[in-house]
Amino acid sequence: MTLVAGVIAVLGALAPPSATAAPFAAFVMDARTGKEIYSQNADARLHPASLTKMMTLYMAFTAVERGQVRLDSRFTVSSHAASQPPSRLGLRPGQKIELRYLIRAAAVKSANDAATVIGEGLAGSESQFGAQMTAMARALGMRNSAFRNANGLTASGHYSSARDMTILGRRLFYDFPQYYSIFSRRSADAGIATVSSTNKRFLDSYKGADGIKTGYTRAAGFNLTASAQRGPKRIIATVLGGQSTAQRNAVMAQLLDAGFGSAPTRVREIRPEAPAYLVEKKRSVKVARADAPPVAPVKLKTVAVRKATPGSAVPALPPVPRGDRLAAAVAEAQAAPQPVPEAAAARDKPAPRMTASARPAPRPGRTSARTQQAVAVAVAAAPPVAAERPSRAPRGNAPQVASRTPGSTIPTTAEVRTRSTRLAESAAPRPKSDTVILAAMDEEGDRSEPEATEIVSRPSTRGSRHYGVSLGHYPSKHEAEQLLLRTALQEASVLDDARRNVGNTKRGFEARFTGMTQASAHLVCGKLASNAQACTVTGP
């Protein structure tokens, strides 16, 4: 049986029994290279549900790294954000909460209200943030994704695909390794409460799993993007349209097993390139004015600028009195080339835009020593007024401050990064309640089933599990493995505890399941026989 025929067979086997149920899709990737291992309906545009929060968190991490916000920036909760349906943290309108706690609530609890606050705080409105998320998706190579909100609740024009969500999961791992551990937490302090992970059961049941995100709505079904590492291999996979939490997790375990079995042990790692995307938005910023003594007006002369040639002498600037340094710095800045009108008009537009590439760093020697000294004097004389929210970081690469002089108040780059890149750096505020917020399920939102109904276990040989089934002999090991995988996905409800095994015999490679009870072995063979698949029960 060819691989294409096998994919079609699996798609038919996993098709939901109800016409109103969500369609199924899956994608498996070798995270080290980004290469596809397995796909099924992977590019279909489906409802991502709370997998959307992966992009919300990607945008938040990006804003922190660019200096647009800090992890301790306090965001105000709007009435719209507070009214989002469960799952939610329980935020109140007008409440202010640090970004670090919103990130934890969105990543661990999958809180819809926390995700909405992040979107509104970063972009000013949910619709504006959705446009920025969509633009970022295009920059990351996600061709079948468009976003309308930050939390993933069902909305017209809000969609993604199994392939795109797997690409995004890989991006979170490679682009923000300093934050990635948040996705493996079983619980987290979200400021006003300790929240439990919606992905705890799969993380606990599958060896090597360390993320990433669950999702559920009635329109989407049960979704999961998972990442796991075993030895040098890392596999990332996405399942969309699962029929239940248990079935979704069982299928994910089978897909990851197949990924680890197919991926080579040694491979050259190919890290993704940084996306060429920069968000600009207008915001009010308080400007500090220094009370400096009157400065004599500076007369500017029109100077013809010619291109320097090797060996040419560049005339030195005349000495500038100490009192006129700030005026000279301003004059020098005014003499610099001004942006073209088109660029200025584009900068005033409120909508986000995507740049073709990162802005180049300033040329060495462009900024004179006098200018730097004048700016330092001005900063020391009048420190900026503290704004309620941090101002946007300047475009391009910020200058690196390697060291500081004695008595200077300007922090070094290392100190800035230390203060801004750790989620758990500052102490948590006094919680108003020591209990975990457990909101009742509404029509939309992540839903967790009772602990007893979640069964994702690995093969066991205890008790009477000494039976198995043989699916016949095949010319190659790969063909036998593909048949086992397709059968495992098709009969996941009865083969969840079975171990896939390929035996090398004189008759060829035997595809077989082991570690089963006698009843389950006969049940599997009965079902496969009805589909014209050869099957033999084997016993102890």
Active site residues: 50, 53, 110
Per the CB < 8 A criterion, the answer to whether 180 and 211 are in contact is yes
**What's the rounded Cα separation, in Å, for the pair 296 and 210?**
64
How many angstroms separate the Cα of 500 from the Cα of each of 143, 255, 328, 470, 488?
35, 12, 77, 10, 8
- Strand ordering across the sheet containing 221-230: 35-40, 25-30, 233-242, 221-230, 209-217
Are 143 and 163 contacting, i.e. CB atoms less than 8 angstroms apart?
A: no
Nearest to 247 by CA among 488, 539, 498: 488
Angle at 331 between CA 330 and CA 336, to 5 degrees: 95
The total number of residues written for the chain in this structure:
540
Count of CA atoms in the C-beta half-sphere (13 A) of 74: 11
User: Pick from 144, 152, 162: which is nearest to 55 by CA?
Assistant: 152
Answer whether 167's CB lies under 8 Å from 159's CB: no
Provide the residue type at 7 as one letter.
V
What tokens appear for 68 in the block?
């647009």
Chain centroid to Cα 50, Å, comes to 12
Distance CA 264, CA 197 (A): 32
Exposure class string for 14-23: b at 16+ Cβ within 10 A, else e: beeeeeeebb
Rg over CA atoms, the chain: 29
Half-sphere exposure of residue 44: CA atoms within 13 angstroms, side-chain side: 18
CA distances from 376 to 292, 325, 364 (A): 14, 11, 19
